[in-house]
Amino acid sequence: MPQARLDEDLLNRPGSRLEIATPALVLDLDALEANIAAMAAWATSQGVALRPHAKTHKCAAIGRLQMAAGALGLCCAKLSEAEALAAAGLERFLLTAPVVGARRIARLLKLAARAGEVMVVVDDAENLRALGAAADAAGCDLGVLIDVDIGQERTGVIDAEAALVLAGIIAGAPRLTFKGLQGYAGQVQHIAGYAERRRASHDSLAKLAAVRDRLAAAGQPSPLVTGGGTGSHALDPAAGVLTELQVGSYIVSDVEYDAVDLTGDGRRPFRSALFVYARVVSACHAGFVTIDAGSKSLAMDGPAPVVAFGAAQGSTYSCVGDEFGRLTLPPGGKGPRPGDLVGLVVPHCDPTINAFDWYHCVRGDKLVDIWPIEARGCAA
């Protein structure tokens, strides 16, 4: 049964936050709005644009809030993500990974025909020629950015020579427009120390600047230079390379980013806006209880979730199965009872969000809305 329907009767009732069926992905709208406003203000103050990454939230309602706060468009990691958000009425997408293969390229062009500006990155000549031929055949224009590997070693050309080859192909393809460069320093985002992260970020961006300058010298200036993330957002503008930031996790933060000194002064610019609510299902032991959230509800690729409120304050989480977690109680802690609620700060937000179909949106003590996560599971 869709969980939204389980909780529809709770909407706008005082105290209803505590009645939500668990496990649930609970979004604090006040905190979300504050985070969106804070990042928008930062970007404005620095003279950079925002093209937030929808791979984090996968949700049309959140995308709309980001667009309303001035975003140029939205980034998507996967084509089906953009398709789902376009079906929900959004437009202006940048595909931040190559779109490869005839069937996928056909889908991309179909999207471009309906969703306003659609741009895609490339790092391979053969893929680029296929894009150009398909755009010709479809009579559809496509914006293209060259993806540059600036140290993450995931996608992207590894030197300026390869970028020049691709720029030449783009220049010769009537339906393709060269939009600029992408360089995403994924390896930098979670370096905890500010100074070390700044050094790594600026080293990466220097590589991107070198490619940009080589292309410009060859007569191919880059209108857009896109990259960056929540981890480096406070550092990137000073390097003067990126024209826009692809920030994602800032909207909700998570345990992983809480460990990163984002601003160099220990201040946390973004509030914890996203929680997994869970309940105790078994309390037969003195030192721990079992809750109803395991590896199917919490990302297992990073740190453990942190108990934020409710029963079992001061306890620590460990996964004890696909559906269950253990909260090890602090010495002398009052033992929670079956049914007691616990709120966990999400460990790594992106894959945790991808486990749920709905955001349960709260303000204060009320459940005020239930938002579909339209692009959940859209990985293709």
Residue ranges in 122-161 that form contacts with a second copy under rule CB under 8 A:
123-124, 126-127, 147, 149, 152-158
Residues 305-334 interacting with a second copy (rule: CB under 8 A): 319-324, 326
Minimum distance of a second copy from residue 238's CB (angstroms):
26
Of the residues 32, 36, 185, 293, which one makes contact with a second copy according to CB under 8 A: 293
Distances (CA, A) of 303 to 26, 298, 327, 346: 19, 10, 15, 9
Query: If you write DSSP's letter for every residue of 301-346 in order, what string do you get?
Result: SSSPPEEEEESSTT-EEEE-SSS-EEEEPPTTPPPP-TT-EEEEE-
CA angle (321 as vertex; 332, 4 as ends), nearest 5: 95
Is residue 190 a contact point for a second copy (CB under 8 A)? no
Work out the number of other CB atoms within 10 angstroms of the CB of residue 205. 27
Work out the number of other CB atoms within 10 angstroms of the CB of residue 109. 21
CA distance 92 to 150: 25
Q: Please check whether residue 330 is in contact with residue 314, taking contact to mean a CB–CB distance below 8 angstroms.
A: yes
CA distance 274 to 252: 6
Of the residues 297, 317, 327, 342, which one makes contact with a second copy according to CB under 8 A: 297
Minimum distance of a second copy from residue 14's CB (angstroms):
16
Of the residues 13, 268, 285, 334, which one makes contact with a second copy according to CB under 8 A: 285
Is residue 228 a contact point for a second copy (CB under 8 A)? no
Closer to a second copy by CB, 29 or 289: give it. 289
Residues 83-122 interacting with a second copy (rule: CB under 8 A): 83-84, 87, 97-98, 100-101, 103-104, 107
Is residue 363 a contact point for a second copy (CB under 8 A)? no
CA distance 132 to 126: 10
Minimum distance of a second copy from residue 377's CB (angstroms):
5
Interface segment toward a second copy; rule CB under 8 A; list 223-231, 232-240, 252-260, 283-291 = 283-291
The amino acid that residue 216 corresponds to is A
CA distance 281 to 272: 26
Residues 160-189 interacting with a second copy (rule: CB under 8 A): 162, 186
Q: Please check whether residue 2 is in contact with residue 8, taking contact to mean a CB–CB distance below 8 angstroms.
A: no
Closer to a second copy by CB, 48 or 370: give it. 370
Closer to a second copy by CB, 314 or 339: give it. 339
Work out the number of other CB atoms within 10 angstroms of the CB of residue 156. 25
Query: If you write DSSP's letter for every residue of 130-142 in order, what string do you get?
Result: HHHHHHHHHT--E
Is residue 65 a contact point for a second copy (CB under 8 A)? no
Closer to a second copy by CB, 48 or 122: give it. 122
Is residue 254 a contact point for a second copy (CB under 8 A)? no
Residues 331-350 interacting with a second copy (rule: CB under 8 A): 337-339, 350
The amino acid that residue 17 corresponds to is R
Is residue 256 a contact point for a second copy (CB under 8 A)? no
Is residue 357 a contact point for a second copy (CB under 8 A)? yes
Closer to a second copy by CB, 58 or 92: give it. 58
Q: Please check whether residue 280 is in contact with residue 337, taking contact to mean a CB–CB distance below 8 angstroms.
A: yes
Minimum distance of a second copy from residue 277's CB (angstroms):
10
Residues 1-60 interacting with a second copy (rule: CB under 8 A): 1, 3, 6, 19, 21-24, 55
